[in-house]
């Protein structure tokens, strides 16, 4: 069975905030964003923007790509679920017809 990707908010909560015994208020103040943004990310109601990824990366000592990679995986999974039926109707171009090797 294929597990859905981990939302960056769940990662933030379980692997960063809880182990550090840090509140959402403390994080929001530390990285200079509104509490509502942190809360919505943690509650998986909002994705991580590139700007927020930069701030989280700097604060926690990980790359912005770490946060954006989690977000990308979630976005692609959600898009696939929405588009699955339509994708199944698409017939891929034959490589022999297109001249692609």
Domain residue ranges of the chain, discontinuous segments joined by +:
8-98
pTM confidence score: 0.85
Averaged pLDDT for residues 8-17: 99
Count other C-beta atoms under 10 Å from residue 41's C-beta.
27
pLDDT band at 72 (very low <50, low <70, confident <90, very high): very high
Output the CA angle 43-48-54, nearest 5 degrees: 130
Select from 2.20.28.160, 1.10.260.40, 3.30.2010.10, 2.170.270.10 the CATH code of 8-98.
1.10.260.40
How far apart CA 58 and CA 74 sit, in angstroms, is 22
Q: Please write the tens of the pLDDT for every residue from 13-69.
A: 999 999 999 999 999 999 999 999 999 999 999 999 999 999 999 999 999 999 999
**DSSP state letter for 13:** I
Q: What pLDDT does 3 receive?
A: 86
């Amino acid at each position: 069975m294929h597990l859905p990707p981990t939302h960056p908010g769940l990662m933030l909560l379980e692997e960063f905030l809880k182990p550090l015994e840090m509140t959402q208020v403390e994080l929001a103040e530390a990285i200079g964003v509104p509490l509502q943004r942190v809360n919505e990310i943690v509650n998986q109601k909002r994705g991580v923007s590139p700007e927020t990824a930069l701030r989280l990366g700097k604060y926690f000592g990980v790359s912005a790509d770490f946060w954006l990679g989690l977000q990308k995986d979630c976005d692609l999974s959600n898009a696939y679920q929405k588009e699955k039926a339509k994708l199944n109707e698409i017939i891929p171009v034959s490589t022999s017809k297109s001249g692609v090797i």
